[in-house]
Amino acid sequence: MTPPDSSSDTPGSGSPGSAGGRWSDLDRPPLNATALRRGLLRPGALWSSVDVVGRTGSTNTDLVAAGGPEGAVLVAEEQSAGRGRLDRTWTAPPRSGLFFSVLLRPGPDVPVERWGWLPLLAGVATAAALSRAAGVDTALKWPNDLLVNVGGEERKAGGILAERSGDAVVVGIGLNVSLRADELPVPTAGSLALAGAQVLDRDPLLRAVLRSLEEWYGRWRDAAGDPAQSRLQEAYAAGCATLGRHVRAELPGGRELVGEAVAVDGDGRLVLATADGVQQPVGAGDIVHVRPAPSEE
């Protein structure tokens, strides 16, 4: 893979404190790619390469284009064209978060129809890692948002985007780490810092997420992608803030469906119980957590 920009192993051209220099924000030091490789690349491990670039458009786009062996990891200190679901953009100041993609090849032992669990698996793995490494309770909003609590309010601090490319799936994860209140792209956004995280050092956080992802992916693949046998379905339901909530599903084609989110089924779909007594699975769309009316609070 040819990095789109210089690796963060390489010193920047600016002097400390200069605009655009490698150490221009001393509260946000660059990732140490050498240490990351030393901690993650080992015989028999899932991860086969770890590349850190200073700036790129989208790590997902780069990994899809590059292909390569399973276990490739591409991390960017800054993304100029980061994408979320439904073609939404994802922007953040340089070195304020973790923006990375991994390339997975589930292989013939995992039926293609179960590959849709990969973004949910990434959510479970990331939430578990952040709980252990940063001391932050991270909840999951179906299908792939990461929520943290900021001043008693749920805020989105991260998101996951999975894209299939032939026999591979590229999973991208974006997570706001040190983003300050005055840097939020929208008032409803959050970050680990705003949620009171005990650790904001991105190196151990990234290692923790990748190790957790390796563990969950191995368990899921060993079970031939069976979400029940691997206990992925159980873990996702336990950490999903959407379940038990009254929600509005904004579906493709401009349709809407309102009901209580009661389950995540074996295909990873959100099951809504509607007012007419029907349980309707939702496989795609935008989910809005409908808040209680003020008189009900």
Give the pLDDT score at 3: 33
Number of domains, the chain = 2
Whether residue 173 is found in the same domain as residue 76:
yes
> 7: burial class by Cβ within 10 Å (0-12, 13-18, 19+)?
middle
- Pair (220, 272) in one structural domain: no
119 pLDDT more than 90: yes
Cis status of the peptide bond prior to 30, with omega within 30 of 0: no
Statement to judge: residues 250 and 208 lie in one domain: no
Residues 191 and 285 in one domain: no
Q: What is the 8-class DSSP label of residue 181?
A: G
Angle CA 30–31–35, to nearest 5: 140
pLDDT at 285: 85
pLDDT grade for 37, boundaries at 50, 70 and 90: very high
Residue 50: the pLDDT is 98
Coil, helix or strand at residue 137: coil
How many CA atoms lie less than 13 Å away from 277 in the CB half-sphere? Answer: 0
Tell me the whole-structure pTM to 2 decimals. 0.88
Residue 95 shares a structural domain with residue 233: yes
Task: Check whether residue 157 and residue 262 sit in a common domain.
Answer: no
What confidence score (pLDDT) does residue 78 get?
95
Same domain, residue pair 133 and 246: no
Q: What CATH number is given to the structural domain containing 97?
A: 3.30.930.10
pLDDT surpasses 80 at 91? no
In a domain, 18, yes or no: no
The percent of residues above 90 in pLDDT, for the chain, comes to 78
Q: What is the pLDDT of residues 218-275, one digit of tens each?
A: 999 999 999 999 999 999 999 999 999 999 999 888 899 999 999 999 999 999 999 9
* CA 153 distance to own-chain centroid: 20
Task: Identify whether residues 197 and 226 lie together within a single domain.
Answer: yes
Within-domain flag for 221: yes
Q: Are residues 112 and 171 in the same domain?
A: yes
Q: Can you give the three-state secondary structure of 68-88, one letter per residue? A: CCCCEEEEECCECCEECHHHC
Q: What is the CATH number of the domain that holds 281?
A: 2.30.30.100
Residue 2 clears pLDDT 60, i.e. is over it: no
Do 109 and 254 fall into the same domain? no
Higher pLDDT, 19 or 165: 165
Print the domain residue range for 273. 242-296
57 neighbors 74 (Cβ within 8 angstroms):
no
